[in-house]
Structure 1
């Protein structure tokens, strides 16, 4: 799995590096021009384009990763990767870890865009220590348990989203839903996302309602009598986390089964 992961990771870095570097270069150039020439019309147009690239750059890079994943295992390069003597579980693991790594890299670049853009355009300086101060303040106000659950909540959301992509690419490339095509992959992804998202929203809303009903407010509606309930705010995330874990396992099992069946037929 390690060799496969290294290969596909290098390929994705090469194909996405332009979309990751270009917004940073544009941010540096046009932020510097803004400081030098002020709100010049041409500079402001460039700033608008830069902001657009800052937003869509990481997104396009991740879309490119998904397209590359499709082409490797089900598209033009499928014959090559199918011939590699590696088990389905290792293939799925390499694909999943590659998505995690590329998402982390895209997120890191997005954070760097933000720091660069703000520091150059506003003239003020934001350091990493400022972010740590915000985190320490949130930790003291919200509580360690809530922070940990929020972090776990976000990680599992990321994992579930990646598994949705993997399942859509794998299922959409099989004969289950008819002839193989990229459009079918997109349709499968949209259908799976709508179903999973609808149930998730319902569970999240119900969890929030249960939590709010556990708050006892006095007659003046000004003071929360049972203030300790705020320290149990993490309870809102328990049901959604459990739901996402179940969905992730089901998607992983489905992806494994479909891909393994495709390899056995091939």
Structure 2
């Protein structure tokens, strides 16, 4: 049985967020939710997260897990805000989960940003092992390690759907950068080969979409040019960086050259500072992370 998949696009950061549900028991998971942040003003907003909450409420879903694919460098996670709100609505609050290699990323960036170790220990409710299976109603969520963009990166297979995070993008976008600490173009190539070895009808749901200018436009909606998934078969034929026949050497050389000229993501510092804390904000502004306005419902480090 395949799940119901709701795809919600956050256009400021180009992020796809997902609500994935068992149609029979109405149990669901949220994948890679966004907490809105304005770097210049220092304002935090919950608009994107509240859209997710309304969808959950309208469909009468019970959220069992909030799943992160990795420690994002381009948006703040809304996981703890969602957990806090859902904990009051449901009998049991959902667990915030991520791959177990997040510990490596926490060590790297915790040292870099002088974050107290106490704020990183047990930051997540559950650290997931490779190939671990989570029960979601009558469905199974299988954890798959997809390193390369970051060393902690995982994806989630639910039925014939794979939520790939930043391990592969849509065919006309191609692939993600690999120049963050612990990243590797060689490893990313191997991860994408694993994805493209799946049955051709499997859907690969991406973590971001950055629609190229030549993608056809439906003027009825600003979001219509962003695409949440393509099939394995389409990716094999059309991915401009990683389609079938692309050699490892060819990809690695191109990716490394490309990454050497990329700018630092504009929300890198606030995103990493929040996300390695399991989605909790610091109590006040930190170096590179201006915090001026925070809704009372948003969770901060205790």
Same fold flag (TM > 0.5)? no
Question: Whose helix fraction is larger, Structure 1's or Structure 2's?
Answer: 1
TM superposition score normalised by structure 2: 0.19
Question: Whose strand fraction is larger, Structure 1's or Structure 2's?
Answer: 2
Q: Which has the larger radius of gyration?
A: 1
